[in-house]
Structure 1
Amino acid sequence: MLLIVGLTIITFIAFLVSYLLDPRRLINGLLFNIFLFSSMITIVYMAFSTQNKFLIFLVLAFILLISLVLIFGIYILIVALFINAKIVMKRESRTHSNLLTLFLAIGLIGCLIVSVIIHKMNFSPEVNTLLSSFPVIGMYYLFSVFNFIMISLIYQFNRPKLNQDFIIVLGSGLIGDRVPPLLASRINKAIEFYNKQGAVSTPPKIIFSGGQGADEKISEALAMQRYALEKGIPVEDTILEDKSVNTLQNMMFSKKIMENLIPDNYNSIFVTNNFHLFRAGLFAKKAELKSHGIGSKTALYFLPNAMIREYIAIVVLNKKQHAIILSLIFIASLILSLVQFVIPYL
């Protein structure tokens, strides 16, 4: 009993130390999931060792839920993805980035069809061993997605102190010269923090960061500033950074502005939508900017597409790591299949 509880405590401490050292680490999601798994084992053990009826009920209910997810989860997910795709196509433009739930649903159906075909084919044991690498790869990415979702959720709980010198608002595209709702939510979040800090101390400067796209009449920074001025923010408390074209440049160019104004130590936060918060934190880390973010709300129907896009971007950022792991899985299955083929001839 003490060993199991102790393991749970150790896994939580490991997560907490890692998170406090740097919240912007993907491994924090893995460590928290290990803690959750350890906690579940502890609860199961306590339930049956103490014969506590309430705990036993919770455990059995959880087992039933997991069983239903394992049996019907992929089918429920496919239906939910199609429903979401229909809603997004009705409310948003039909760009590739807005159709990711549709593509994922079609991809999952394709995987189911291929798995049924493979199951019915009479392949040799060696070929089956080689083909087994694909389910393993699927499980690896499922595990990776779960870790990403967990750290993305945890990072939402960042609550910066009301002692900031700067707030960086990250741009996200305009409609001509107009601030769309997605970007407006970021500015509103920055204004909310600005007013909250201004009520107790000196308000921070707001840096509006974003250049001008090919289809935009003005820079994102200028459009954001105009929006903030209409909301009552004094012009002297606004700063324009209108050269950046991506999130990394948002961080790098804003950092230069802040260092020019306050060469020594300064406090800063950045504002973006909640789905983009963790990846923006990774870019802040890459730019060597000691800044964490606060997230503005996003329409629920838009979140699935946004989270898929964020995960793909995270995979691209860590493509070498993924390539190495996938190669190892495939090599291991290839070696096992060759061993199966050779053994009968020895």
Structure 2
Amino acid sequence: MGWALVALLALAAGVTAWQDPRRLRIGVYLTLAIGLAVVGLLGRLALLIAGSDDPLRLAWALLIALGVAFSAVVVLGLASVANGILMIRREGRRPANLLSLVFGLGVLGYCALIVVMWWVDRNHTDVALELFFWIVAIGVPLGYLAFVFVAFVGYGLLYGWAADRWARPVDAVIVLGAGLSGERVTPLLASRLDRGRQALERSRSRGKDTHLICSGGQGPDEVVPEAVAMANHLAEQGVDRDLLWLEDASTSTEENLRFSARVAAEHGVESGRFAVVTNDFHVLRAALLLHRMGLEGHGLGARTARYFWPSAILREYAAILWEHRRLNTVLLALSCVPMALLLVRTVASGT
């Protein structure tokens, strides 16, 4: 039954991806399928070990597995804290730059709670048992958030890889703006423009009359619209200005796409296919938004500096949770039921 469910989830992911790969549910299906498959394989391995008629050997195997898993989580927490400190040093103390630090401290705090439970268990078993209940109760909503995070990040990487290799030619390449330094593009925006230029050349080499849309308005601290600076940068790189269309009014990703589609329509592309170029951490969410707006096409990602990626992907994950806030609120509320019941029992026993 278990392997049949794995096959069914894999089939659902494949069918949905064939219909339109710009759906987050594909990542959910794949994560469930892979998770169940791993659990099944570990169960088979445990049975093989238990079949040796040596219970101590099985106990040691389980203890080592738990130790490896716990160590991996601790390493994740420490790496996130180190990345958070690096982000603060290089990018400043803005709230968005604190995400990996806060995430790492949260992970280490949960691990510390487990260590405290183990330490208390040596002399006060009843207290340790109460701590165990709290650890499990807190772990349920954290487990849900971790599952969604793995599904989002894992499928985002898979989608970006597949789109980069098998994407069809497009009528227009939309490069999303990302802030300026005076009248010049920043290194991050330059990487998007380089990726957009590659997509433009690739699409035109396959017979499409493809144009590139520089999309970005003028922020309150910018001396020119982002679209103008982007076009100037591409022209300096040798791109023919006749291939460049400008969209210089947008202030958000949604406006980038809506206004760019309007610009394309003004040039005769009424129902075209688009490639949206952004950074790799943002590519899946941009593609999901493209789908939500009823526009055909795909997302393409430019590489991001390694130190910047963890905080950026956490910010994207928070945005995904917010965009699906109704469903996530319901599921998180359900996952918090054990914690609420435990709190009620603790209060009742205290009175």
Going from structure 1 to structure 2, the CA distance change for 1:256 and 1:81 (only over 3 Å counts) comes to same
Question: What runs of 5+ residues in structure 1 fail to find an aligned partner?
Answer: 52-61
1:208 aligns to what? Answer: 214
| Aligned match of 1:222 | 228
Query: Residues 27-65 of structure 1: CA distance to partner in whole angstroms, max 9, x if unpaired?
Result: 1111112222344366568889999xxxxxxxxxx9899
- Give the Cα–Cα distance (whole angstroms) in 1 for the partners of residues 111 and 289 of structure 2: 36
Aligned to 2:141: 137
Name 1:16's counterpart in structure 2: 14
1:318 counterpart (305, 324, 329): 324
> In structure 1, which of residues 24, 27, 30 is the aligned counterpart of residue 28 of structure 2?
30
Task: Return the match for 1:152 from 139, 156, 180.
Answer: 156
Cα distance change, pair 87–32 in 1 and its aligned pair in 2 (3 A) = same
Q: Determine the C-alpha separation between the residues in 2 that align with 1:297 and 1:208.
A: 18
Contact 1:213–1:219 (8 Å) recurs in 2: yes
Indicate conservation of the 8 Å contact 1:24/1:282, yes or no: yes
Q: Please say which of residues 19-28 and 245-254 is displaced more in the overlay.
A: 19-28
C-alpha distance after superposition, 1:83-117 (max 9, x if no partner): 22233334334422223212222333444556677
Kindly indicate whether the alpha-carbon contact (under 8 Å) linking 1:165 and 1:203 is maintained by their aligned counterparts in 2.
yes
Q: Secondary structure at the match of 1:300?
A: coil
Distance 1:176 1:71, change over 3 A: same
Matched, 1:172 2:206: no
Partners of 2:312 and 2:240 in 1: CA distance = 33
Q: Which amino acid aligns with 2:189?
A: L
Residue identity in the other structure for 1:245? T
Counterparts of 1:87-98 in structure 2 under 5 Å?
87-98=86-97
Structure 1, 231-240 or 261-270: larger mean CA deviation: 261-270
Look up the equivalent residue of 1:311 and give its one-letter code. Y
- The answer as to whether partners of 2:24 and 2:288 remain within 8 angstroms in 1 is no
Structure-1 separation of matches of 2:252 and 2:113: 38
| TM-score, scaled relative to structure 1 | 0.82
- The equivalent of 1:241 in structure 2 is 247
Q: Which residue of 1 aligns with 2:78?
A: 79
Contact 1:277–1:294 under 8 Å retained in 2 = yes
> What pairs with 1:259-338 in structure 2 (closer than 5 Å)?
259-262=265-268, 264-331=270-337, 333-334=339-340
| SS class of match (2:213) | strand
2:256 aligns with: 250
Aligned residues: 331
- Residue 105 of structure 1 is matched in structure 2 by 104
Q: Note the C-alpha offset of 1:197.
A: 2.8
Q: State the shift of 1:123 in Å.
A: 7.3
Q: Would the aligned equivalents of 1:126 and 1:338 in 2 still touch at CA under 8 Å? A: no
> Residues 106-141 of structure 1: CA distance to partner in whole angstroms, max 9, x if unpaired?
333444556677896977999986885422111111
- Specify the SS of the correspondent of 2:180: coil
Letter in 1 for 2:220: A
> Any conservation in 2 of the 1:127–1:337 contact (CA below 8 Å)?
no
Aligned CA RMSD, in angstroms, stands at 3.5
Residue ranges of structure 2 left out of the alignment (5+ in a row)? 50-60
Distance 1:338 1:305, change over 3 A: closer
Which range moved further: 307-316 or 10-19?
Answer: 10-19
Task: Report the CA distance between 1:14 and its aligned residue.
Answer: 1.4
> What CA distance in whole angstroms lies between the structure 1 residues aligned with 2:83 and 2:267?
46
**Identity score, percent:** 29
Q: Deviations over 1:318-346 (max 9, x none)?
A: 1221211222233455457768999xxxx
1:185 paired residue number: 191
Instruction: Report SS of the residue matched to 1:86.
Output: helix
Structure 1 residues 249, 63: CA separation in 2 closer, same or farther (over 3 Å shift)?
farther
Correspondence for 1:198 among 204, 210, 215: 204
Distance 2:313 2:207 in 1: 36
Structure 1 Cα separation of the partners of residues 33 and 196 of structure 2: 34
Specify the SS of the correspondent of 1:291: strand
Q: Distance in 2 between matches of 1:99 and 1:250?
A: 27
Distance 1:227 1:305, change over 3 A: same
